[in-house]
Structure 1
């Protein structure tokens, strides 16, 4: 036995003796896993700030494209909190609370405060996080990635804080926002802050460029860990055809994950001739976030006829269609089986099987769309012009029915 082994045995025996006679001092560097019986944990309901939309004690992401008015939108919600007003869906905010706002992108004096005034906020209940200060009165910028402890002290000192707005949320990440581990480490402190102080943390983010058509939650810029850590992801977009904008639930681990509301950003004047903007809320919108955003972001006449997603959308636009026939039409227009599969997945195509055995057939159909009466029209569909598409001068084969390919699918070749 080596001298080293002998010393280790001596240390272990000494620890055992100390444990027995009660003389061992607690060691903060010595950890054990903690498992608790489920029966010892009291179940509690979700504490909602805005029922089914924003929860207290949780992280919510508000994402959207440039021009959707994300900050103005969240400021409108913050104003509702300060005065216990009405939420956009017509429900009532149960009680007033204080709000803390940190923004690295907007000046408090000429942007944030005028917008709060226009939204009717109780300014006595709104606190703007301008920076940090030491005991000598020296100031420095506030860093959400490193100053969470200071923020927690302020939350406790202010008291009755219901909502914290962080704009942009990526500022809370120290490291690469495209790396899941960096994002998780950075946001975990924000998640813990929300839970510990029972406040709703709403982080504002942007959509990734070129992410149109993807799952709305996946459009949040940076690593997918952003959407994974947030309990709710809200998305906003502006209609390409008018000034109507939409707010939709893209993901929720704790409530509904569909439905939305429309809104507009309108100019107004507050105080002594200060020009600003405010939100004017519209009505509710049914449908998934993907459907709501697709309707808002659609540009008439701007379809990419070589896009398999658009091709399949046009094929199925008039209703369910035999799966084999739809696949054959896609093949006739030059799309591969892999492209067809990906297009079907992106569109969330519904597959319904009918019959049994040799009589079994499958039908493809688009998911439900926005109901009539929505603030913006559903996507209009066109046959492509001659010379455009996969079949040379003939364009994408378009029959009299307006679908791609011939209207009679009975003689279609195998796919």
Structure 2
């Protein structure tokens, strides 16, 4: 034993307080149904993402939704609208007077129920001077909450999301995005509001729509429903015709895709959305690169080639009648004719237009030379 033992250290080390997990017995939870603003598509208290390339009317689509929320008008798929409610818009790319107000007018919105949150006003830290800046996430969720409650909102639109993220948020870092969006999701739940955030598509080569939105995958991960807008497959060269297709659906089945086109209003100087009904394609279909061979294999083109191969040169009126019986619209039939390279010949009295495949020898003895289909029908 050492003659000079070390003194005993009687310092008391405080242990960290013990943590307890919050446990909820599921038998104590009262089940609830999802409360829909637009049944099957826009849900109260949930986050939604709307993706698409510039110029296809994403913002105009959200204005159309806002108009239906404020007036209770039926939804584009024919479902009944709800009781009129308020809408909050956070739009940092479009002017209120020359873009947003005319679009709301064109869509028939109740303007008294729509407010735009344009900036955040307060006092600059340290200086005490008045400060004014754009709304930011997650910094200003308390201001957003107040705005939603003030107008009894059923819909909040943030357009685009990337412009509203605080400078400290890395939009491509999953952890940053989830921390930025979590307070917004809580506000959506507390205020019972459907929140729609708008993004541009990236130029990636993935044909899976869920991976094509800008920023981290955590953005679509935080959303309960996601949508993509892309050019309509019937008119891929027409920037004014598009399809709204589901990208993600966690709380319902995937909704049917809806076609629409933009109609210009000369008096108001803007466009509004006119819906066309359901379209048989998915978001992945819309973003998948379309080769000439793929375009030639669409169902209507295949039907038309088969018909002409069986019947040979055929009067257009007969083809149109057969197509109608097969459930094919004339406009769709004409587009298929162009894709198939159909040649047309107009002859006789009264004049009759005949269609034939380019590989089929002309049977007409009229001396008229078959020509490629014109861009516009006769």
Common fold by TM > 0.5: yes
- Whole-angstrom CA distance in 1 between matches of 2:51 and 2:26: 36
3-state SS of 1:7 partner? coil
Tell me how far apart the structure 2 counterparts of residues 145 and 62 of structure 1 sit (CA, whole Å).
19
Per the alignment, residue 81 of structure 2 pairs with 93
**What corresponds to 2:160 in structure 1?**
168
Which residue does the alignment assign to 1:82? 70
Q: State which of 85, 93, 115 in structure 2 corresponds to 1:127.
A: 115
- What residue is the counterpart of 2:144 in the other structure? 151
* 1:128-277 matches, cutoff 5 A: 128-134=116-122, 139-156=132-149, 158-174=150-166, 175-211=169-205, 214-239=207-232, 240-242=236-238, 243-270=240-267, 274-277=268-271
Would the alpha carbon gap of residues 205 and 137 (structure 1) be closer, same or farther in structure 2, given more than 3 Å must change?
same
CA contact (8 A) 1:258 1:288 kept: no
Aligned ranges 1:36-115 → 2 under 5 Å: 36-115=24-103
Contact 1:250 1:258 survives alignment (8 Å)? no
Q: CA–CA distance in 2 between the matches of 1:143 and 1:232?
A: 23
SS in 2 for 1:290: helix
Structure 2 spans left out of the alignment, 5+ residues:
1-5, 124-128, 303-326, 342-358, 360-378
Residue aligned with 1:139, SS:
strand
1:212-361 correspondence runs (5 A): 214-239=207-232, 240-242=236-238, 243-270=240-267, 274-294=268-288, 298=290, 301=292
- Does the aligned pair in 2 maintain the 1:63–1:207 contact within 8 Å? yes
The 1:2/1:234 distance shift into structure 2, 3 A limit, reads farther
1:232-277 Cα distance to aligned partner (Å, 9 max, x none): 001101232334211111110011214211111111044xxx4111
Q: Number of matched residues?
A: 297
Cα shift at 1:177? 1.3
- How far residue 118 of structure 1 moved from its aligned partner, in angstroms, is 0.5
Once residues 204 and 375 of structure 1 are traced to their aligned partners in structure 2, the CA distance between those partners, rounded to angstroms, is 32
Identify unmatched segments of 5+ residues in structure 1.
Answer: 16-28, 304-309, 319-370, 383-399, 401-415
* CA root-mean-square deviation: 3.3
Q: 2: CA distance between counterparts of 1:58 and 1:220?
A: 19
